[in-house]
Chain A
């Protein structure tokens, strides 16, 4: 199909093209809800079955980093919304600035996530043969709060009495933790790629009040990925949190 300016040949008008693109993105997001839905379902069922192990798992997560990342992500949604608005009112320079800000915040989020993963690796909490829920309290480092570690140790010991397979069930928690946050991070990386493409277009001054569909639908996608995290954060970090 031939393309005339920004209008692809299968469409009659730019309006029809925009309507199709927007609806297409919404339909795609519906499929994403179902895609994540399978994981959320698996998580919920197992959380209920092994609440002790999952509770201990939740408490090993770093709430400062998690909450900080939540703020970073919400900020990135704000800058994304501002980028869409700037495109709609024709402030071409602002479009680039806000898109770059969004990309920056997204990268910060991924960086923090990497730090959290590294912590879990150091604490032997990656599912597999080296997995051990008791490793951390048995191997304190200089920066650890010893009182907190003692409390953690106590907690695991009590839990083992009621759930001797706690290392298996803890692995389930961490499999799901890495699965869910990993899939989310993958979506962030795809989003970052889309942002790079948008930034390139914005430098060329492509987005105008008449034509800004790409900014708008990537915006939809970015907000969706944000919302997934809004659900992941309480599910993974906050349930059964007591210190």
Chain B
């Protein structure tokens, strides 16, 4: 032991984007055009909405502890699940990975100094805030009880809650999403460093390209649809109100034309995260790079052609239903391609069980369950039985929470050393990852059974025989909450006290790991030139990775 040479402790770089001096204090943050700082602004604001949505979810689960409802009145219950959905979907999940990690990482990963339009990037954050304020105004002045789907004529005529400000808020927020997507697409096209060809880009960037396509093509449609519904409510017009000749089914078509692809806005970036984590901790090139890249695009394209599977019970024509059912099966193919490629990457890899990897493996397991149960719902006959039951609730929570949020928390752990320059405790973070996985399954797996037995969603009471499963679900939710609070506390702790990470702690092969942690404001001292293939752990002497040389073990913080 005594003859081991002492390794000098790493130090944070002298100058980086967090301490760069342009302006001072708050002003330098609120007027920044640095994509990394804007990413952190988004990180803070989506966390606020995650908490609001989380508190509402907690109240739902407490209410459902007893068959007759333990906590609130039926009207309030309607508001709880509606506001939970609106906060989580529009203000947490959709911006989460793209606006935080996409913003932070895309320029770093392709070797650019910033996004193509830094001011538009900042503008998108302000638009998000303004939209968020409208929605919070709605929440605090009467709430919202239409369901996050805003079906007309309930939302446009009959609801007595604060629908108008909520609709305006979501309309405004849409433009934040559109501008982010636009910025990413242009950046990926025009800002790549020399040698960074399309097929040398990290799969995270491919996933965000596909996500951006959905953002720019889908979001305008929901914007105009909600605008029409809002105008209908404000001025008593009749676009979607059958009493005045309008067509409520048209609203559903237009709504789902965005809102189904929106699911891919949530899951595609998470898939991009997993594609980065898996090869890093299996220390192997990713299996079938071009298939994973292509499957992202395929999901984005086919995802636009499946929307009416939300409407099988509206009386749409059998032929339309058959087509949409078939296409919904088809979209499972590129998703499965990804899962098979990730698992093939693991095969004969030298796997290390670091926290990001645990989240990634958890993602694969939960996404498979969520995806397969999606096929149940795409099946015409079966969907009639389980439509609008807890089976649906469990299915989309497996995709959105088990998939997207797992990916988000995994990304936090994977890139935290890059963002802050510091590492977090290893044992505690592994424990948190496992807690999250267990808590999640305990919360939502019973809901599959409840739904299959016939418990409808959005009801504030249920027959006594469903109580055991509901209590299990609520118990799981409290474990799940711990799984979120733990990372939040030790990550915050590590910002100041964590061990210094160095530029490439895992080590990983992407360009973002070749610059300092935290990076310079300009990202790189000199524009990098890419001469290597992606995810190559053997031929990267610049990172100390060569054939035959021992692979360095991932660095980790002190426990």
Contacts and interface: CB of A to CB of B under 8 A. Distances in A.
Interface of A: 1, 9-12, 16, 19-20, 23-24, 27-28, 30-32, 34-39, 41-42, 45-46, 49-50, 127-128, 165, 168-169, 171-172, 175-176, 179
A34 B221 contact: yes
Contacts of B185: 23, 27
Counting chain A CB atoms within 10 Å of each CB, the highest count among B245, B250, B254 belongs to: B245
Contacts of B191: 10-11, 16, 20
A11 B112 CA distance: 8
A171 B238 contact: yes
Contacts of A28: 182
A31 B245 contact: no
Contact of A23 (B33, B189, B239, B247): B189
Contact of B186 (A24, A168, A175): A24
B18 interface: no
Contact of B116 (A20, A35, A128): A20
Interface in B92-148: 112-118
Interface string B170-207: 00000000100011011101110000000000000000
- What are the 3 tightest A-B residue pairs by CB atom distance, in nearest-first order? A38-B224, A35-B220, A10-B114
Nearest to B113: A10
Interface string B209-224: 0000000111111011
B182 A24 contact: yes
Given A1-B33, A20-B186, A27-B182, A38 B254 contact: yes
B225 interface: yes
A19 B192 CA distance: 13
Contacts of B113: 1, 9-10
B228 interface: yes
B224 A171 contact: no
A27 B186 contact: yes
14 contacts: A1-B33, A1-B114, A9-B113, A20-B186, A24-B186, A35-B221, A37-B224, A38-B223, A41-B250, A42-B239, A45-B247, A168-B238, A172-B237, A172-B238
Q: Which of B117, B228, B235, B237 has the largest number of chain A CB atoms within 10 A?
A: B237
A46 B244 CA distance: 12
B247 A46 contact: yes
Given A10-B114, A31-B182, A179 B220 contact: no
Given A27-B182, A39-B224, A41-B254, A50 B239 contact: no
A52 to B, nearest CB: 12
A42 B231 CA distance: 14
A87 B223 CA distance: 36
A80 B33 CA distance: 32
Given A1-B33, A31-B216, A50-B245, 17 more contacts: A1-B113, A9-B113, A10-B113, A20-B117, A23-B189, A31-B178, A34-B217, A34-B220, A35-B224, A38-B224, A41-B250, A42-B239, A42-B250, A46-B246, A46-B247, A128-B235, A179-B231
Given A20-B190, A24-B182, A49 B116 contact: no
Contact of A24 (B33, B116, B246, B527): B116
Contacts of B244: 168, 171-172
Contacts of B219: 31
B235 A10 contact: no
Which residue among A30, A169, A175 has the maximum number of chain B CB atoms within 10 Å of its CB? A175
B236 interface: yes
**Max chain B C-beta neighbours (<10 A), residue from A24, A35, A128:** A24
A10 B115 contact: yes
B134 to A, nearest CB: 19
Nearest to B116: A20
Nearest to A175: B237
Contacts of A50: 245
B228 A42 contact: yes
B190 A49 contact: no
A30 B217 contact: yes
B98 to A, nearest CB: 15
Contact of A32 (B118, B220, B235): B220
A24 B228 contact: no
Contacts of A23: 185-186, 189-190
A169 B239 contact: no
A103 B64 CA distance: 62
Given A41-B254, A172-B244, A35 B236 contact: no
Given A38-B221, A172-B244, A30 B216 contact: yes
A11 B220 CA distance: 29
Contacts of A37: 220-221, 224
B247 A49 contact: yes
A19 B186 CA distance: 9
A170 B190 CA distance: 49
A172 B245 contact: yes
Contacts of B245: 46, 49-50, 165, 168-169, 172
A171 B237 CA distance: 8
A50 B245 CA distance: 9
Given A1-B33, A45-B247, A175 B238 contact: yes
Contacts of B186: 20, 23-24, 27
Given A24-B117, A49-B247, A127 B235 contact: yes
Contacts of A38: 220-221, 223-225, 228, 254
B123 to A, nearest CB: 13
A19 B190 contact: yes
Contacts of B247: 45-46, 49
A16 B190 contact: yes
Interface string B234-268: 01111100001111001000100000000000000
B404 to A, nearest CB: 23
B225 to A, nearest CB: 6
Interface string B433-456: 000000000000000000000000
Contacts of B254: 38, 41-42
Contacts of B118: 1, 10
A7 to B, nearest CB: 12
Given A24-B182, A31-B178, A45 B117 contact: no
A39 B223 CA distance: 11
Nearest to B228: A42
A144 to B, nearest CB: 28
B548 to A, nearest CB: 38
Contact of A27 (B216, B225, B246, B522): B216
A50 B242 CA distance: 13
B220 to A, nearest CB: 4
Contact of A10 (B116, B221, B236, B239): B116
Contacts of B187: 20
A127 B186 CA distance: 42
Contacts of B116: 10-11, 20, 24
Contacts of A39: 224, 228
A116 to B, nearest CB: 20
Contacts of B183: 24
A16 B114 CA distance: 13
